[in-house]
């Protein structure tokens, strides 16, 4: 029918329709936004706990060098074991915060949704013709363009990081390995922040596209808006009674039809 085409769905989805879609587990998701938030959380955590973590790693390297230079007769030396334990305790908060970011980042666009029916397998999506059609859909075209944009942004960020390293005299290798470790960490941190800044544009574009496609998918025709408005004018108790009577009438018709089939048979 004409009113069921996308061109006739010119009205924005109502709150009732969006709530019904949310109960069914149909919510917008942006993998790019979730991934970018995880990267941002990881960089923020390293910026916050990084000094303590890098001090632990430096002490571990120093203890390892000293153990190699003067091996302990009983196996693992006490300074090396203490440094290893301190490093593990320094890494655990970083891993815990990043793990929390991985769990919370997908909910940034649509919040928490629990819908068991969303986990059901839809075998209709496995149809080969539908799979081929999805390759030429607007989502596939947008995904291809976004991939090209991400490659360009990543290439620009990596180029900036390399130029920044060369501008500062390249990657110096002083006599002390621990000093080289600190300079390498600082250079790597600047490069990672450049990558996160470059991916921010891709995350914003993908989130906007997913949200727009979600609203378009649930857009309504004018007839649907009027029908929903008429239904909302009726009290919930009366709507429940009407639906109950409709279900009873449907069951009576089904029972009557079944009886007729038996008589005819």
Higher-confidence residue: 32 or 58?
32
Q: What's the CA gap between 156 and 164, in Å, rounded? A: 12
Q: What's the CA gap between 90 and 33, in Å, rounded? A: 28
CA angle, residues 22, 15, 208, in degrees to nearest 5 = 70
The answer to whether 108 and 31 are in contact (CB under 8 A) is no
What is the pLDDT, as a whole number, of residue 264?
39
Q: Identify the top-confidence range among 14-23, 60-69, 146-155.
A: 146-155
CA angle, residues 157, 160, 163, in degrees to nearest 5 = 150
What would the pLDDT profile of 54-104 be if each residue is shown by its tens digit?
888 888 888 887 777 777 666 667 777 888 888 899 899 989 999 999 999
Q: What's the CA gap between 237 and 239, in Å, rounded? A: 5
| For the chain, domain boundaries | 28-111+140-219, 220-265
pTM: 0.69
| Alpha carbon separation from 200 to 33, 163, 210, 252 (Å, rounded) | 8, 21, 15, 59
Q: What is the end-to-end Cα distance of the chain in Å, rounded?
A: 38
What is the pLDDT, as a whole number, of residue 213?
92
Positive/negative CA dihedral, 68, 70, 71, 74 = negative
Give the pLDDT band (50/70/90) at residue 124: low
Give the pLDDT band (50/70/90) at residue 265: very low
């Amino acid at each position: 029918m004409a009113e069921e085409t996308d061109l006739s769905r010119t009205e924005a989805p109502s709150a009732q329709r969006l709530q019904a879609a949310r109960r069914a587990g149909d919510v917008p998701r942006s993998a790019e936004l979730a991934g970018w938030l995880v990267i941002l959380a990881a960089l923020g955590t390293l910026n916050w706990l990084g000094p303590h973590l890098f001090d632990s790693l430096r002490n571990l390297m120093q203890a390892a060098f000293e153990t190699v230079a003067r091996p302990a007769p009983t196996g693992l030396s006490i300074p090396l074991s203490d440094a290893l334990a301190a490093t593990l305790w320094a890494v655990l908060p970083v891993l815990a915060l990043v793990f929390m970011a991985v769990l919370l980042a997908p909910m940034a666009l649509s919040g928490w949704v629990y819908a068991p029916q969303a986990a059901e397998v839809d075998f209709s999506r496995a149809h080969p013709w539908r799979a081929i059609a999805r390759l030429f859909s607007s989502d596939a075209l947008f995904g291809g363009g976004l991939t090209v944009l991400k490659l360009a942004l990543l290439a620009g960020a990596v180029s900036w990081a390399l130029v920044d390293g060369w501008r500062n005299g390249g990657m110096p290798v002083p006599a002390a390995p621990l000093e080289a470790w600190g300079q390498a960490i600082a250079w790597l941190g600047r490069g990672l922040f450049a990558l996160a800044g470059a991916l921010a544009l891709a995350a914003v574009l993908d989130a906007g596209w997913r949200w727009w496609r979600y609203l378009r998918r649930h857009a309504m025709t004018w007839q649907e808006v009027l029908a929903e408005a008429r239904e909302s004018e009726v009290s919930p108790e009366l709507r429940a009674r009407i639906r109950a009577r409709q279900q009873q009438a449907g069951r009576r018709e089904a029972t009557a039809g079944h009886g007729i089939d038996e008589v005819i048979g």
